[in-house]
């Protein structure tokens, strides 16, 4: 009698354990399915003076990086309209939003740079989008701010994740390469705009910020009161790859030159973070290395 009860208890315990393990598996798989990959990638504008590194010789490499690493949403910098057209031809699963920094159009004449956001059409629905200028007059098309050498912009999109039904905001930008004051003021303006536009929603910020972590713009963006954090330090899995993002077409991450970042707010959790240093027989897709993070929305 006791052996029968003992066997039944053992059988019941195994069934309960099996159910618990199954539920854990289903939960883990469900969470993994809701993860998506964010990339920031300065693809280098199409400059004929780049010789062997001119865009026609690199476009397949850029597309391959995005395709192979299965980026779901990509903040691009230095992307000209002609480059965007060629990228989506190579990556037909993607669409993009952006406005040109010089005239606020989608078909600038002459062609110039966008801080466009590329996204996987099957995964995300674009709900709202806009572009503002990093200047004292952010609504003024083509305006240069402070001591900037060129007009600089931030493009943003409100997305719905079709898989989870959750919404988030993606801001993408490219800070000026010369203006020290412009970079600091751009960081302050960007935080103001993020608070005004996104409110309490999940936020992802990507970009080429032309500053290292010890510089003022980074400290503004990653400060304790900013509401943002560097995904590099938020990753649940230790960072993978070099510690710098500037390659100069020659070296996989020149030491001390981490200037491209992915920032998130507290409603975005980071599972993985990497700086990607692949090359093709010594040839790089760009003079910047792309940064990739696998994230999920809370």
Considering the domain architecture, whether residues 13 and 153 belong to the same structural domain is answered as: no
pLDDT(22) > 60: no
Considering the domain architecture, whether residues 184 and 289 belong to the same structural domain is answered as: yes
Considering the domain architecture, whether residues 285 and 210 belong to the same structural domain is answered as: yes
Given pLDDT bands bounded at 50, 70 and 90, which one contains residue 12? low
Considering the domain architecture, whether residues 6 and 55 belong to the same structural domain is answered as: no
Instruction: Report the CATH number at residue 122.
Output: 3.60.10.10
Considering the domain architecture, whether residues 63 and 7 belong to the same structural domain is answered as: no
The predicted-structure confidence for 217-230, as pLDDT tens digits, reads as follows 999 999 999 999 99
CA–CA distance, 77 with 246 (Å, rounded to integer)? 13
The predicted-structure confidence for 97-127, as pLDDT tens digits, reads as follows 999 999 999 999 999 999 999 999 999 999 9
Instruction: Say what the pLDDT of residue 11 is.
Output: 57
pLDDT(23) > 70: no
Given pLDDT bands bounded at 50, 70 and 90, which one contains residue 279? very high
- SS3 annotation, the chain: CHHHHHHHHHHHHHHHHHHHHHHHHHHHHHHHHHCEEEEEEECCCCCHHHHHHCHHHCHHHHHHHHHHCCCCEEEEECEEHHHHHHHHHHCCCEEEECCECCCCCCCCCCCCEECCEEEECCCEEEEEEEEEECCCCCCCCCCCCCCCCCCCEEEEEEEEECCCCCEEEEEEEECCCCCHHHHHHHHHHHHHHHHHHHCCCCEEEEEECCCCCCCHHHHHHCCCCCCCEEHHHHCCCCCECCCCCECCCCCCCCCCCCCEEEEECCCEEEEEEEECCCCECCECCCCECCEEEEEEEC
Given pLDDT bands bounded at 50, 70 and 90, which one contains residue 29? very low
Given pLDDT bands bounded at 50, 70 and 90, which one contains residue 251? confident
Considering the domain architecture, whether residues 20 and 41 belong to the same structural domain is answered as: no
Considering the domain architecture, whether residues 234 and 112 belong to the same structural domain is answered as: yes
- Domain range for 74 is 36-297
pTM here is 0.90
Q: Which carries the bigger pLDDT value, residue 188 or residue 253?
A: 188
Given pLDDT bands bounded at 50, 70 and 90, which one contains residue 215? very high
Considering the domain architecture, whether residues 92 and 235 belong to the same structural domain is answered as: yes
pLDDT(155) > 80: yes
Instruction: Say what the pLDDT of residue 10 is.
Output: 58
Torsion angle of C-alpha atoms 204, 39, 222, 239, degrees rounded to 10: 130
CA–CA distance, 201 with 51 (Å, rounded to integer)? 44
User: Given strand 260-264, what is the order of strands in its sheet?
Assistant: 124-133, 153-161, 167-174, 203-208, 260-264, 229-230
Considering the domain architecture, whether residues 91 and 3 belong to the same structural domain is answered as: no
- How many separate domains does the chain show? 2
Considering the domain architecture, whether residues 158 and 247 belong to the same structural domain is answered as: yes
Considering the chain, what is the average pLDDT of its residues? 92
Considering the domain architecture, whether residues 138 and 15 belong to the same structural domain is answered as: no
Instruction: Say what the pLDDT of residue 141 is.
Output: 98
- % of residues, the chain, pLDDT over 70: 89
Instruction: Say what the pLDDT of residue 27 is.
Output: 39
Considering the domain architecture, whether residues 16 and 72 belong to the same structural domain is answered as: no
The predicted-structure confidence for 228-249, as pLDDT tens digits, reads as follows 999 999 999 999 999 999 999 9
- The residue to which tokens 């707010």 are assigned: 265
Q: Is 173 exposed, middle or buried (0-12, 13-18, 19+ CB in 10 A)?
A: buried
């Amino acid at each position: 009698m006791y052996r029968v009860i003992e066997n039944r208890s053992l059988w019941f315990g195994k069934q309960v354990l099996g159910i618990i393990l199954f539920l854990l598996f289903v939960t883990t798989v469900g969470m993994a399915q809701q993860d998506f990959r964010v990339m920031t990638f300065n693809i280098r504008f199409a400059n004929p003076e780049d010789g062997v590194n001119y865009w026609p010789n690199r476009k397949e490499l850029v597309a391959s990086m995005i395709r192979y690493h299965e980026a779901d949403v990509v903040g691009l910098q230095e992307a000209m309209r002609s480059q965007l057209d060629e990228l989506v031809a190579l990556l037909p699963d993607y669409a993009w939003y952006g406005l040109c920094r010089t005239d606020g159009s989608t078909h600038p004449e002459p062609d110039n740079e966008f801080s466009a956001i590329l996204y996987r059409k099957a995964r995300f629905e674009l709900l709202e989008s806009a572009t503002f200028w990093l200047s004292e007059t952010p609504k003024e098309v083509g305006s240069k701010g402070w001591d900037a050498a060129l007009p600089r912009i931030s493009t943003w999109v409100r997305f719905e994740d079709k898989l989870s039904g959750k919404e988030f905001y993606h801001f993408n930008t490219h800070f000026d390469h010369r203006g020290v004051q412009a970079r600091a003021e751009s960081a302050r303006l960007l935080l103001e705009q993020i608070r005004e536009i996104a409110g309490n929603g999940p936020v992802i910020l990507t970009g080429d910020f032309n500053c290292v972590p010890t510089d003022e713009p980074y400290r503004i963006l990653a400060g304790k009161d900013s509401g943002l954090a560097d995904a590099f330090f938020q990753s649940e899995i230790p960072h993978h790859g070099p510690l710098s993002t500037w390659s100069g077409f020659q070296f996989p991450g020149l030491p001390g030159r981490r200037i491209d970042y992915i920032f998130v707010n507290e409603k975005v959790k980071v599972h993985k973070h990497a700086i990607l240093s692949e090359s093709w027989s010594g040839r790089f897709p760009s003079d910047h290395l792309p940064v990739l993070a696998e994230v999920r929305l809370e």
